[in-house]
């Protein structure tokens, strides 16, 4: 094994020398064998040579598989390039001669003679591979497996494992995501996590666990060892690894079979390249100057109100000192009380942050001055159209080259946020660099919970903040085109910031390889106790097209990204509603313990009990209904007895207390459920129209008061504060009951307006792998 690297590299170099970027099947066998995977007994028979009886005898089987070997022919079965025959000289020769005679014309008919003539196909045939016919375990579904490695543009090397053979497409089309194929990173997961990814697979239970009286045909450790071989290959020949000259773009074994408890690859393909990604050389530590600057420079401010002037006003109105703001404005001494300078070179020293609001075609000269004169430690490029409008991509490339050369010389170069971004809001930095006037956007104020929003779209960022005005983010960062700083850079930086507790990310497209960096930052953030939430758009072909035109980047493979992010401990929101609900829930449920998925459900309406039960299971996991403990049942019956409800309803989970339950009875049951040892979390739902509950503020025509000490709201607030268990509330009613909901929310309770949404939120939360909120 110590020379396996040399063997693999020599195989790849030989193929490259022959003008190929892929391996022939004998070469794939050799590569896998060099890395410790057993392969079928086989030999290569060059074209023009006859098989020897001794070679056939060494295969040790009565029947053999004959497969054509040609750099043109990737799908051998389609052109008659695979045959199973008796292991005799006569039979093997006949099969080989038939292939040589028929394959050229078949290939040309199938793929078009204009593209490749029969003569060219014939000339491409190197010979045949003759291999033992493997007698492998036949268990129906799971008899044939797939094990693959491919380089994702976003996330680097990823491993795929699941059902193989002819079942691949069918399983993918008909099974839920995560049940047909498992997707793993090439590195970064421990053994327990890797096993947890395999467990849900439809084939895993059939082959690696005892199944209907039949013993498991393979140990889980054996499958994990085969996967580790591919993970090691992915890491060694990664586009990030410059110690090796090649990148394995794709390596697939299909089918992979099981023989006597061991895995054996039957067919394989491999593509490779010399493409390597540039290592990230951005000084992430300089983001501190971007987010918490002591001095700010700005260019593009007009005496009349324009984008630059709006930003200047926002900086001042959010508390940044005028004497620390320097405006590049020739011909003026000051504007809005801030000193003006005629050009970048005239700035009094190096500013921590420089805000550039000029048009796309005027960006490069300013950046060039800032870089060459070392006048800024960080820059925000607001300019719209940069990287999107035809002809501006070269401007971005020129800026990247400028930064890269400066950094390679070991000199200071600014980190750049943008372009095509809306700006940044930083509470610790005392500034708002967005170009939205204050009268059009009221910045959230209220609960300060350590929230950082990192969004590729500035409009998305402000819309979420506008919809959730109770939560004031520490940082709201619109990253735009990621000309320099990327989403991954911000994850790397924020995971180490003690003031940040929650990182909420909106992503449209990741820069090449930045997904790997993003996952690295996410894993570290989760390990440090932070919560990372992601909403990823650009999933469909139409969405990816819109993404490319909107932020000048291309969205990656969503299924791969979602799987890898889940494994890293990231909460992945499927909808915008989910994204907002998770922000709210993660903030309001801070300090609650996630000890399990046993849920207690309570409502005063029968339909809600049914709907909540219908939503216990989903692709993201499940909530489990356990019967209440005997002591809890006794407590609940005692609470319901004065109203006679105990004679109408049995006590079970979900608990329907009927519209007859008043504030005392309803909350007495909630308390019993929260204190039940068989309950880990709870959904408390009420339809508030019943006259038995106080769900209105005081007013004419009734005696209700949601603010009275014994009201439903005040009792639930008290219970929420006393329990360590996650508890969410649902109020399914219209605007009349908004004051009731607001009162609960103002006191920290997560409130939903549909019971199914409440259950789905809690289900995803408790199945996230987190232990403490």
Model confidence over 239-251: pLDDT tens digits? 999 999 999 999 9
Q: At what angle do helices 514-527 and 487-494 cross, to 10 degrees?
A: 20
Band of pLDDT at residue 152, cut at 50, 70 and 90: confident
Element (DSSP H or E) covering residue 476: strand 475-478
* CA–CA dist 221, 502 (Å, integer): 36
Q: Is the pLDDT of residue 121 over 70?
A: yes
List pLDDT tens digits, range 266-299. 999 999 999 998 878 899 999 999 999 999 999 9
Collapsed DSSP state (helix, strand, coil) of residue 47? coil
Mean pLDDT value across residues 725-738: 96
DSSP secondary structure string for all residues of 105-168 = HHHHHHH-TTTS-HHHHHHH--EEEEEE-------STTSSEEEEEEEETTTEEEEEEEE-GGGH
The reported pLDDT for the residue numbered 175 is 59
List pLDDT tens digits, range 309-347. 999 999 999 999 999 999 999 999 999 999 999 999 999
| Between 589 and 154, residue with greater pLDDT | 589
Nearest to 5 by CA among 244, 240, 226: 244
| Between 23 and 111, residue with greater pLDDT | 23
* CA–CA dist 717, 747 (Å, integer): 7
Band of pLDDT at residue 544, cut at 50, 70 and 90: very low
Decide the pairing of beta strands 127-132 and 42-46: antiparallel
* CA–CA dist 553, 544 (Å, integer): 9
The reported pLDDT for the residue numbered 391 is 60
318 phi/psi in degrees, rounded to 5:
-95, 10
* CA–CA dist 222, 258 (Å, integer): 10
The reported pLDDT for the residue numbered 211 is 80
Band of pLDDT at residue 662, cut at 50, 70 and 90: very high
Give the C-alpha distances (Å, rounded to integers) separating 77 from 65, 82, 109. 12, 6, 15
**Residue 622: other Cβ atoms inside 10 A:** 15
The reported pLDDT for the residue numbered 548 is 37
Q: Is the pLDDT of residue 60 over 90?
A: yes
Share of the chain above pLDDT 90, in %: 73
Mean pLDDT value across residues 496-514: 93
Q: Supply the mean pLDDT for the chain.
A: 90
Band of pLDDT at residue 177, cut at 50, 70 and 90: low
Alpha helix positions (H), 180-275: 191-198, 202-207, 220-236
633 phi/psi in degrees, rounded to 5:
-60, -45
The reported pLDDT for the residue numbered 747 is 93
Band of pLDDT at residue 553, cut at 50, 70 and 90: very low
Q: At what angle do helices 220-236 and 4-17 cross, to 10 degrees?
A: 60
The reported pLDDT for the residue numbered 555 is 29
The reported pLDDT for the residue numbered 187 is 80
The reported pLDDT for the residue numbered 170 is 65
Q: Is the pLDDT of residue 167 over 80?
A: no
Decide the pairing of beta strands 82-86 and 63-69: antiparallel
Lowest mean pLDDT among 302-306, 505-509, 539-543: 539-543
| Between 547 and 217, residue with greater pLDDT | 217
Band of pLDDT at residue 178, cut at 50, 70 and 90: low
* CA–CA dist 314, 732 (Å, integer): 39
The reported pLDDT for the residue numbered 540 is 53
Collapsed DSSP state (helix, strand, coil) of residue 69? strand
The residue behind tokens 């491999």 is 270
Q: Is the pLDDT of residue 182 over 90?
A: no
Backbone conformation region of residue 97, classed left if phi is above 0, alpha if psi is from -120 to 50, else beta: alpha
| Between 113 and 386, residue with greater pLDDT | 386
The reported pLDDT for the residue numbered 212 is 78
| Between 678 and 551, residue with greater pLDDT | 678
Up-side HSE of residue 434: CA atoms within 13 Å toward CB? 25
Q: Is the pLDDT of residue 35 over 90?
A: yes
Contact predicate 200/532, CB 8 Å: no
Q: Is the pLDDT of residue 457 over 90?
A: yes
- For 510-528, b where at least 16 C-beta lie within 10 A, e where not — what string? bbbbbbbbbbbbbbbbbee
Would you say the C-alpha torsion 324, 328, 331, 335 has a positive or negative sign?
A: negative
| Helix, strand, coil share of the chain (percent; to 5) | 40, 20, 40
The reported pLDDT for the residue numbered 539 is 61
* CA–CA dist 544, 537 (Å, integer): 8
Confidence (pTM): 0.87
Decide the pairing of beta strands 655-656 and 334-335: unpaired
Contact predicate 297/277, CB 8 Å: no
The reported pLDDT for the residue numbered 547 is 40
Band of pLDDT at residue 174, cut at 50, 70 and 90: low
Band of pLDDT at residue 554, cut at 50, 70 and 90: very low
Mean pLDDT value across residues 344-358: 96
Cβ-defined contacts of 612-615 (< 8 Å, 24+) = 612/654, 612/683, 612/685, 612/755, 612/756, 612/758, 612/759, 613/654, 614/756, 615/756, 615/759, 615/760, 615/763
């Amino acid at each position: 094994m110590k020379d396996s690297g040399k063997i693999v590299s020599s195989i790849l170099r030989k193929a490259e020398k022959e003008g190929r970027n892929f391996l022939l099947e004998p070469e794939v066998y050799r590569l896998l064998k060099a890395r410790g995977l057993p392969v079928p007994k086989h030999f290569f028979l060059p074209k023009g040579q006859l098989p020897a009886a001794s070679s056939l005898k060494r295969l040790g089987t009565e029947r053999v598989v004959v497969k054509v070997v040609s750099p043109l022919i990737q799908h051998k079965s389609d052109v008659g390039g695979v045959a199973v025959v008796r292991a005799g000289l006569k039979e093997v020769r006949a099969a080989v001669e038939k292939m040589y005679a028929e394959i050229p014309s078949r290939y040309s008919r199938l793929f078009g003679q204009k593209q490749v003539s029969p003569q060219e196909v014939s000339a491409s045939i190197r010979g045949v591979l003759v291999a033992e016919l493997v007698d492998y375990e036949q268990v129906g579904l799971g008899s044939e497996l797939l094990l693959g490695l491919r380089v994702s543009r976003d996330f680097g090397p990823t491993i795929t494992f699941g059902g193989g053979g002819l079942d691949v497409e069918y399983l993918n089309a008909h099974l839920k995501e995560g049940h047909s194929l498992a997707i793993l990173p090439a590195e970064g997961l421990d053994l327990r996590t890797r096993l947890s990814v395999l467990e849900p697979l439809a084939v895993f239970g059939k082959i690696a666990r005892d199944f209907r009286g039949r013993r498991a045909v393979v140990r889980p450790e054996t499958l994990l060892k085969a996967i580790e071989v591919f993970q090691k290959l992915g890491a060694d020949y990664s586009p990030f690894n410059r110690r090796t000259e090649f990148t394995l773009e794709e390596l697939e074994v299909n089918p992979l079979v099981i023989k006597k408890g061991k895995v054996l690859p039957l067919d394989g393909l491999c593509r490779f390249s010399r493409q390597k990604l540039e290592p990230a050389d951005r000084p992430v530590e300089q983001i501190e100057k971007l987010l918490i600057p002591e001095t700010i420079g700005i260019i593009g401010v007009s005496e009349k109100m324009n984008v630059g002037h709006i930003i200047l006003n926002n900086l001042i109105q959010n508390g940044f000192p005028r004497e620390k703001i320097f405006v590049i404005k020739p011909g003026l001494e000051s504007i809005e009380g801030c000193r003006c300078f005629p050009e970048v070179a005239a700035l009094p020293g190096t500013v921590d942050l420089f805000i550039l609001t000029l048009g796309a075609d005027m960006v490069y000269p300013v950046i060039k001055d800032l870089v060459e004169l070392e006048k800024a430690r960080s820059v925000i490029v607001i300019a719209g159209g940069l990287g999107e409008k035809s002809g501006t991509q070269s401007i971005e490339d020129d800026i990247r080259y400028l930064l890269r050369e400066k950094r390679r010389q070991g000199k200071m170069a600014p980190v750049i946020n943008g372009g095509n971004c809306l700006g940044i809001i930083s509470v610790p930095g005392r500034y708002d660099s967005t170009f939205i006037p204050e009268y059009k956007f009221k910045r959230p104020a209220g609960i300060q919970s350590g929230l950082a929003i990192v969004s590729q779209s500035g409009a998305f960022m402000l819309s979420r903040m506008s919809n959730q005005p109770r939560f004031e983010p520490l940082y709201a960062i619109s990253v735009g085109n990621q000309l320099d700083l990327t989403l991954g850079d911000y994850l790397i930086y924020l995971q180490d910031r003690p003031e940040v507790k929650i990182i909420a990310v909106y992503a449209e497209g990741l820069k090449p390889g930045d997904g790997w960096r993003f996952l690295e930052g996410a894993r570290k953030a989760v390990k440090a106790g932070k919560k990372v939430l992601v909403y990823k758009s650009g999933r469909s072909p139409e969405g990816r097209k819109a993404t490319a035109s909107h932020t000048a980047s291309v969205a990656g493979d969503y299924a791969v990204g979602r799987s890898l992010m889940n494994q890293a401990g990231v909460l992945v929101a499927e909808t915008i509603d989910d994204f907002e609900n998770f922000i709210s829930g993660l903030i309001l449920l801070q300090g609650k313990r996630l000890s399990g998925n046993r849920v207690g459900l309570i409502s005063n309406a029968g339909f809600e009990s049914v709907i909540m039960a219908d939503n216990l299971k989903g692709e993201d996991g499940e909530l489990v209904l356990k019967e209440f403990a005997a002591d809890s049942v006794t407590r609940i019956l005692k609470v319901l007895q004065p109203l006679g409800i105990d004679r109408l309803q049995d006590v079970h989970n979900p608990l329907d207390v009927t519209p007859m339950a008043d504030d005392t009875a309803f909350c007495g049951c909630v308390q019993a459920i929260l204190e039940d040892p068989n309950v880990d979390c709870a959904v408390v739902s009420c339809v508030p129209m019943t006259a038995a509950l106080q769900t209105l503020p005081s007013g004419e025509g009734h005696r209700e008061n949601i603010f009275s000490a014994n009201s439903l709201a005040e009792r639930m607030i008290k219970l929420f504060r006393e329990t360590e268990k996650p508890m969410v509330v649902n109020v399914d009613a219209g605007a009349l009951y908004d004051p009731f909901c607001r009162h609960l929310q103002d006191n920290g309770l997560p409130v939903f307006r549909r019971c199914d949404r409440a259950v789905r939120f809690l289900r995803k939360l408790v199945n996230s792998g987190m232990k403490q909120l």
